[in-house]
């Protein structure tokens, strides 16, 4: 497929050099929150550029990283009061895995070296992150390089048996986790999950009850809970953090993607006083050694602060609830379409599966969408919408109308 060279962006739109436009309905791979070339984030970055672009964080610090850590910690009501920075999602996952293992080692439990994740989970593609990922397409080739991790059944409600509710499906999966931990807790450091929506699995959604049961099982078996909110965090789930919907707090929270509004690479692992205390020591070997050159980059932190300011200034979570209701209402024509199965929705994500046996379905759909001015990239037979939060009603109308046209054209 030919590349699409993009000249500029404006709000939900991307423009190529021939003046054609594309509605970025997947937020440029799940990172953009408030549109391309957002005036508020642009202005904040320009101001930051004139003051400080970057300084190493070892022994030094700067205002944007301090302010950002305080704001993020306040968003967890201070429960996750410590922030460790890196540059991308996979690094955040590496950090959470290393920190969990090292916590247990410092606590005299050096046998707790294993990790457990959900079937079809995606946590990034560096070797450590890939080892807890369960997507064959990304993993199979590199299998000889990877450390073994265990997978337990996904609470994806599409796995519900006939007549089983989403909640009952979540309970059944949680029982399987419980059985796993019962046998393996003494060698398990942490469970890592994508709360509410497993993105790369094809927007697989589950009942929040699963997270409560998983939190409870992890507590009983002394296993950390790592919430990978790299995709679902920052309002995408409908609440600022997805785990809030279950009323739980993870031991580690990984954020990236939308944290800078989709502007610059930045990730953060947030953790509790308890975890922090296990590393606070004069001995270097007990300390957590992990660094990246651009850790806590000042420009990226400034973009993140500007993003958080927009959340407050525009009551974004409240406004998104109205937008989500509008799009869901409009999407009823999709729900009713004979080729559409498992229509699902969480916060600002909508997904459905297309009944198609065409092995090139995703590619053909992508191509047809581009011709209709839409950037949509199905995962297998799953079509999903994950638009920037600034999408307007007429743009949502266009998204639904043209998606229906594409489905009909591809079925003809």
Ligand X SMILES: *Cc1c(COP(=O)(O)O)cnc(C)c1O
| Residue 228 DSSP one-character state | E
Contacts 24+ apart (CB under 8 A), 60-64: 62/296, 62/298, 62/301, 64/298, 64/301, 64/302, 64/304, 64/305
Shortest CB 179 distance to ligand X, Å? 25
Map the footprint of ligand X across residues 163-182, applying CB under 6 A. Answer: none
Please report the DSSP string for 4-62 in residue order: --EEEEEBTEEEETTS-EEEETTHHHHT-SS-BT-HHHHHHHHHHHHH-S----SS---
State which residue, 268 or 340, has the beta carbon closest to ligand X: 268
Contact 268, 255 (CB under 8 A): yes
Q: Residue 134, interface with ligand X (CB under 6 A)?
A: no
- Nearest residue to 102 (alpha-carbon basis) of 266, 342, 281: 281
Shortest CB 131 distance to ligand X, Å? 13
Q: Could you give the CA distance from residue 384 to residue 374 in angstroms, rounded to a whole number?
A: 12
State which residue, 115 or 122, has the beta carbon closest to ligand X: 122
Q: Residue 346, interface with ligand X (CB under 6 A)?
A: no
Shortest CB 3 distance to ligand X, Å? 20
State which residue, 95 or 340, has the beta carbon closest to ligand X: 95
Q: Three-state DSSP class for 242? A: helix
Per-residue interface string for the shown chain with ligand X, residues 106-125, x marking contact by CB under 6 A: ----------------xxx-
Map the footprint of ligand X across residues 304-343, applying CB under 6 A. Answer: none
Residue number with the shortest CB distance to ligand X?
Answer: 89
Map the footprint of ligand X across residues 147-166, applying CB under 6 A. Answer: none
State which residue, 13 or 384, has the beta carbon closest to ligand X: 384
State which residue, 13 or 122, has the beta carbon closest to ligand X: 122
Shortest CB 87 distance to ligand X, Å? 8
Shortest CB 313 distance to ligand X, Å? 27
Longest CA–CA separation in the chain, Å: 70
Q: How many CB atoms lie within 10 A of CB 79?
A: 14
- What token pair was written down for 102? 């090292």
Q: How many CB atoms lie within 10 A of CB 271?
A: 27
State which residue, 231 or 351, has the beta carbon closest to ligand X: 231
Map the footprint of ligand X across residues 75-104, applying CB under 6 A. Answer: 88-90, 93
- Binding residue (CB under 6 A) for ligand X from 68, 96, 230, 376: 230
Shortest CB 350 distance to ligand X, Å? 17
How far from the centroid of its chain's Cα atoms is residue 285's Cα? Answer: 32
Shortest CB 401 distance to ligand X, Å? 29
- Nearest residue to 380 (alpha-carbon basis) of 192, 233, 199: 199
State which residue, 40 or 98, has the beta carbon closest to ligand X: 98
Q: Residue 231, interface with ligand X (CB under 6 A)?
A: yes
Q: Could you give the CA distance from residue 93 to residue 76 in angstroms, rounded to a whole number?
A: 19
Q: Three-state DSSP class for 375? A: strand
- Binding residue (CB under 6 A) for ligand X from 94, 134, 228, 353: 228
Q: Are strands 224-228 and 197-198 parallel, antiparallel or unpaired?
A: unpaired
- What token pair was written down for 280? 């606070």
Shortest CB 90 distance to ligand X, Å? 3
Q: How many residues does the chain have?
A: 412
How far from the centroid of its chain's Cα atoms is residue 5's Cα? Answer: 26
Per-residue interface string for the shown chain with ligand X, residues 181-220, x marking contact by CB under 6 A: -------------x----x---------------------
- Binding residue (CB under 6 A) for ligand X from 249, 256, 297, 403: 256
Under rule CB under 6 A, how many of the chain's residues touch ligand X? 14
State which residue, 24 or 228, has the beta carbon closest to ligand X: 228
State which residue, 130 or 375, has the beta carbon closest to ligand X: 130
Q: Could you give the CA distance from residue 265 to residue 92 in angstroms, rounded to a whole number?
A: 12
State which residue, 65 or 259, has the beta carbon closest to ligand X: 259
Contacts of residue 408, Cβ cutoff 8 Å, sequence gap at least 6: none
Please report the DSSP string for 140-158 in residue order: GGGGGGSPP-EEE----GG
Q: Write out the residues near ligand X by the rule CB under 6 A.
A: 88-90, 93, 122-124, 194, 199, 228, 230-231, 256-257
């Amino acid at each position: 497929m030919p590349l699409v060279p993009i000249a500029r962006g404006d709000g939900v739109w991307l423009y190529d050099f021939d003046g054609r436009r594309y509605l970025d309905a997947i937020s440029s791979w799940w990172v953009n929150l408030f549109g391309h070339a957002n005036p508020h984030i642009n202005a904040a970055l320009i101001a930051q550029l004139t003051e400080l672009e970057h300084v190493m964080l070892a022994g030094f610090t700067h205002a944007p990283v301090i302010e950002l850590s305080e704001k993020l910690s306040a968003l967890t009501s201070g429960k996750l009061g410590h922030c460790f920075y890196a540059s991308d999602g996979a690094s955040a996952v590496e950090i959470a895995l290393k920190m969990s293992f090292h916590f247990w080692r410092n606590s005299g439990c050096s046998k707790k070296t294993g990790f457990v994740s959900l079937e079809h989970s995606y946590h990034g593609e560096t070797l450590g992150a890939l080892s807890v990922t369960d997507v064959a397409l990304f993993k199979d080739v590199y299998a000889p390089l990877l450390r073994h991790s265990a997978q337990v059944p996904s609470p994806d409600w599409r796995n519900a048996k006939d007549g089983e509710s989403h909640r009952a499906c979540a309970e059944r999966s949680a029982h399987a986790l419980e059985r796993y931990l019962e046998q393996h807790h003494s060698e398990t450091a942490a469970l890592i999950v994508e709360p509410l929506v497993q993105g790369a699995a094809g927007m697989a959604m589950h009942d929040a009850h699963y997270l409560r049961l998983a939190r409870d099982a992890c507590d009983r078996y002394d296993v950390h809970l790592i919430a990978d909110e790299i995709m679902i965090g920052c309002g995408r789930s409908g609440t600022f953090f997805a785990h809030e919907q279950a009323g739980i707090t993870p031991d580690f929270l990984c954020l990236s993607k939308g944290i800078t509004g989709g502007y610059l690479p930045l990730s953060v692992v947030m953790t509790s006083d308890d975890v922090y205390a296990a590393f606070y020591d004069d001995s270097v070997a007990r300390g957590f050694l992990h660094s990246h050159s651009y850790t806590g980059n000042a420009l990226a932190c400034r973009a993140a602060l500007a993003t958080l300011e927009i959340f407050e200034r525009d009551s974004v979570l409240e406004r998104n609830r109205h937008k989500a209701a509008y799009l869901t209402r409009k999407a009823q024509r999709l729900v009713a379409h004979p080729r559409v199965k498992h229509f699902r929705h969480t916060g600002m994500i909508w997904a459905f599966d297309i009944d198609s046996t065409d092995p090139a379905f995703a590619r053909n759909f992508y191509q047809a969408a581009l011709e209709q001015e839409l950037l949509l990239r199905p995962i297998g037979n799953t079509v999903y919408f994950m638009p920037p939060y600034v999408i307007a009603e007429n743009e949502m109308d266009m998204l639904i109308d043209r998606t229906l046209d594409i489905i009909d054209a591809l079925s003809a």
